[in-house]
């Protein structure tokens, strides 16, 4: 299949969105099966002092391996199926925002045991604390957007 | 740890495959904080695929609640701490341009120096925080 968005009609657009939803479900299913939606497991992985659970290293290991192989193959294409070009990050500079942001994110991750993907999945499952976490996360995002304006 | 490494690997393969497919089909990086955060910005065009992707992600949570609710773990913290954690995750991922998926899964796979440094940083502060805060409170 080789459809650039300029030639993508209503049917083709609908198809691209159905595929995006299926991919989202696959991603979410992966988070659930791997144990990323269990905060105690995340904290147990990050904290080697209180009975370390290294199994989550396999999640990132497997995901990176599959993605790295696929990425090399996909990036040989001129453009993706439903767009005229790839939207890849181009920045190479190491700035203070990158490191400070990652540091702040890590503190929140180690504290709550949830990162954005698993938080959204858990909130959708109806977990009240996960819903509170997601609302706070969205507020944090908005706060950051405002701070740069 | 028993068979949990096996489930972790199967889940990891699914996450990696989903990230690769999003790149193949839409040409996008599967970074959850970026996809979510940009929906909160007025300047973002191209909202449809983001909403569709997050809809699928949420559907997985709904199915888990119906089929295997134990897969969604209880919070390890009290509500005020959960809210503080959420705020830090939201602010930090947007300031640092990514989270476990965008920097972790996609960035490392692309051998991005920015992502490698970001992952090393959030793993370190995450570990220090988890060690200080302990398993539950």
Please indicate, yes or no, whether residues A6 and A67 belong to a single structural domain of this protein: yes
Q: What pTM, to 2 d.p., does this model score?
A: 0.95
**Model pLDDT for residues B98-124, shown as the tens digit of each residue:** 999 999 999 999 999 999 999 999 999
Task: Note down the domain range covering A2.
Answer: 1-88
Please indicate, yes or no, whether residues A59 and A107 belong to a single structural domain of this protein: no
What is the predicted pLDDT for the residue at A149?
A: 66
Q: Which residues of A touch B14 (CB under 8 A)?
A: 26-27, 29-30, 33-34
Q: What is the DSSP letter of B78?
A: -
Residue B103 lies in a domain: yes
What is the predicted pLDDT for the residue at A2?
A: 52
What is the predicted pLDDT for the residue at B135?
A: 62
Indicate the residue among A70, A88, A106 that finishes a domain.
A88
CB contact under 8 Å between A21 and B56, yes or no, is yes
Q: Which residues of A touch B56 (CB under 8 A)?
A: 20-28
Give the one of B72, B77, B114 whose C-beta lies nearest to A111's C-beta. Answer: B77
Give the one of B41, B121, B136 whose C-beta lies nearest to A103's C-beta. Answer: B121
Please check whether residue B80 touches A, CB under 8 A.
Answer: no
Residue B28 lies in a domain: no
Q: Provide the β-strand partners of residue A87.
A: B28
Count of pairs with CB atoms under 8 A, one residue in A, one in B: 491
The low-confidence residues of chain A, meaning pLDDT below 50, are 1, 5
Please check whether residue A62 touches B, CB under 8 A.
Answer: yes
**Model pLDDT for residues A52-80, shown as the tens digit of each residue:** 889 899 999 999 999 999 999 999 999 99
Please indicate, yes or no, whether residues A111 and A135 belong to a single structural domain of this protein: yes
Q: Which residues of A touch B123 (CB under 8 A)?
A: 46, 106
Report which of B65, B136, B93, B34 is spatially closest to residue A131, judged by C-alpha positions: B65
For residue B133, how many other CB atoms are within 10 A of its CB? 21
Please check whether residue A3 touches B, CB under 8 A.
Answer: no
Residue B130 lies in a domain: yes
- Residues with Cβ within 8 Å of A120's Cβ and at least 6 positions away in sequence, in order, are A134, B32, B36, B54, B57, B58, B61
CA distance B111 to B105: 10
Please indicate, yes or no, whether residues A84 and A38 belong to a single structural domain of this protein: yes
Please indicate, yes or no, whether residues A56 and A29 belong to a single structural domain of this protein: yes
CA distance A73 to A119: 31
Number of domains in chain B: 1
- What is the per-residue burial (b if ≥16 Cβ within 10 Å, else e) of B91-130? bbbbbbbbbbbbbbbbbbbbebebbebbbebbbebbbbbb
**Residue A94 zone, left/alpha/beta (φ > 0; ψ -120 to 50; rest):** beta
Indicate the residue among A37, A61, A88 that finishes a domain.
A88
Residue B47 lies in a domain: no
Indicate the residue among A40, A58, A88 that finishes a domain.
A88
Q: Which residues of A touch B60 (CB under 8 A)?
A: 24-25, 27-29, 31-32, 121, 124
Which ipTM did the prediction report? 0.96
What is the predicted pLDDT for the residue at A9?
A: 87
**Model pLDDT for residues B20-64, shown as the tens digit of each residue:** 999 999 999 999 999 999 999 999 888 999 999 999 999 999 999
Please indicate, yes or no, whether residues A38 and A105 belong to a single structural domain of this protein: no
Report which of B122, B96, B107, B97 is spatially closest to residue B29, judged by C-alpha positions: B107
Task: Note down the domain range covering B94.
Answer: 76-137
**Nearest residue in A to B130, CA atom:** A110
What is the predicted pLDDT for the residue at B137?
A: 44
Residue B2 lies in a domain: no
CA A74-A79-A84 angle, 5° bins: 155
What is the least distance, in Å, from the CA of B129 to any CA of chain A? 5
Residue A48 has which token pair? 């080697």
**What is the average pLDDT value for chain B, to the nearest integer?**
95
């Amino acid at each position: 299949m080789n459809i650039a968005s300029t030639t993508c009609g209503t049917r083709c657009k609908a198809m691209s969105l159905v595929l995006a939803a299926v991919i989202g479900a696959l991603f979410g299913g992966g988070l659930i099966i791997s144990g990323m939606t269990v905060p105690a497991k995340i904290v147990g992985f990050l904290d080697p002092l209180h009975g370390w659970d290294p199994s989550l290293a396999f999640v990132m290991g497997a995901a990176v391996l599959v993605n790295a192989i696929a990425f090399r193959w996909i990036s040989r294409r001129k453009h993706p199926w439903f767009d005229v070009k790839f939207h890849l990050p181009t920045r190479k500079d190491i700035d203070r925002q990158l490191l400070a942001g990652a540091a702040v994110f890590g503190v929140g991750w180690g504290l709550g045991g949830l990162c954005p993907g698993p938080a959204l999945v858990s909130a959708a499952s109806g977990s009240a604390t996960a819903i509170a976490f997601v609302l706070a996360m969205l507020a944090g995002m908005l706060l950051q957007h405002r701070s740069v304006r | 740890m028993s068979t949990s490494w096996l489930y972790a690997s199967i889940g990891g393969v699914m996450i990696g495959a989903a990230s690769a497919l999003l790149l193949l089909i839409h040409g996008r990086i599967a970074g959850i904080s970026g996809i979510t955060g940009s929906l909160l910005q007025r300047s973002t065009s191209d909202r449809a695929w983001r909403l569709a992707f997050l809809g699928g992600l949420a559907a997985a949570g709904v199915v888990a609640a119906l089929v295997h609710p134990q897969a969604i773990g209880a919070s390890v913290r009290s509500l005020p701490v959960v809210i503080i954690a959420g705020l830090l995750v939201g602010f930090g991922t947007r300031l640092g341009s990514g989270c476990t998926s965008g920097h972790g899964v996609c960035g490392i796979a692309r051998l991005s120096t920015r992502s490698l440094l970001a992952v090393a940083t959030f793993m370190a502060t995450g570990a220090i925080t988890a060690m200080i805060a302990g398993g539950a409170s």
